[in-house]
Amino acid sequence: MSRDRDFALIPTRAELNRALDAVAARGGRTAVVMTMGALHDGHATLVRTARRHVGARGHVLVTVFVNPLQFGAGEDLDRYPRTLEADLRTAERAGADAVFAPSVDEVYPGGEPQVRITAGPMGERLEGASRPGHFDGMLTVVAKLLHLTRPDVAFFGQKDAQQLALIRRMARDLNFPVEIVGVPTAREPDGLALSSRNRYLSPAERRTALALSAALFAARDRLAAQAALRARAETLRTSESRAEALSRLGESRAAADAHAVAAAGPGGADAVRAAARAVLDEAAKGKPPLALDYLALVNPADFTEVPDDHTGEAILAVAAKVGTTRLIDNLPLTFGAPA
């Protein structure tokens, strides 16, 4: 598994243990990138990041396993793409030393496990509400794979923000001796978040799907505009009221927009939500239409909705269906302190 050895496909736990023992004898840090296969450039970005993190002496292991525990009734387990040969090429080119691609029997000998990880209250919100049991299944397999692969550090994409938050919480709560690193979402040039499910979209559906990232970017721009207006308002005479100051700024912007910013309060979370929802509402009228599952502006610590006057970090998350394909996306935002 070192860079001076041939790239390896490892199908069994026994072979994995032998490989990891050899790695431990040679020294260097070990990184793992967990995937369900159908690798794209977003996964390759994770592998490249892992390689940079552990360096030339380190060891990068990619896991490819379609986990049946995290698919609910009616979801696309059988339809989920399995492209192992292409995955091996992608992983090797990105800098991995090996791919661990076990069968279901290797991961769950004797059938589905009776003892599982429970995601708790955070796992029942947003994705957990839409896909009951999904996060319990995800955390169970991540826990098993962390034990099996014995990494010093594990890399996960921020596109699955709730998943990443839960994995971090599990590692902290259950004292896993591993560093969990989040990697920013990889996107197509037009903004669409990279996903294995994008391949299911027809050209028309893909155009509609762009509304997810467009909504997030509209919200980000709205937040930036609010911050700029408030900053400029503070440069006016302190004897003027906040609304009057913003109205004066409205001479170069819409006065109504200035008053809306003033009404939004210090954080303006409601205005940010509204900017995103406007884009999604328009996409719902499209052909084909976008069917919104949720739009939520949440606290990264527990994925509860933030109040309008929120300050600090937040995540704007969206999930929707286009045709039969369900897509998710999110964007981290920072709300400034009250003026």
Active-site annotation, residues: 43
Token readout for 286 is 């499209």
**Residue 179 corresponds to which tokens in the numbers above?**
């560093």
Neighbours of 191 (CB within 10 A): 13
CA distances from 40 to 1, 156, 229, 261, 291 (A): 22, 14, 40, 40, 25
Measured between alpha carbons, how far is 312 from 335 in angstroms, rounded to an integer?
5
3-state secondary structure of 323: coil
Give the span between the Cα atoms of 239 and 231, in whole angstroms.
Answer: 16
In this structure, are residues 210 and 191 in contact, taking their beta carbons and an 8 Å threshold? Answer: yes
Helix residue spans in the chain (DSSP H): 13-26, 41-54, 84-94, 104-107, 127-130, 134-149, 161-173, 203-233, 242-249, 255-263, 269-283
**What is the C-alpha separation between 113 and 102, in angstroms, rounded?**
16
Backbone angles phi, psi at 47, to 5 degrees: -65, -45
The Cα–Cα gap between 2 and 54 comes to 11
Q: Are 226 and 271 in contact (CB under 8 A)?
A: yes
CA angle 190, 192, 196 (to 5 degrees): 135
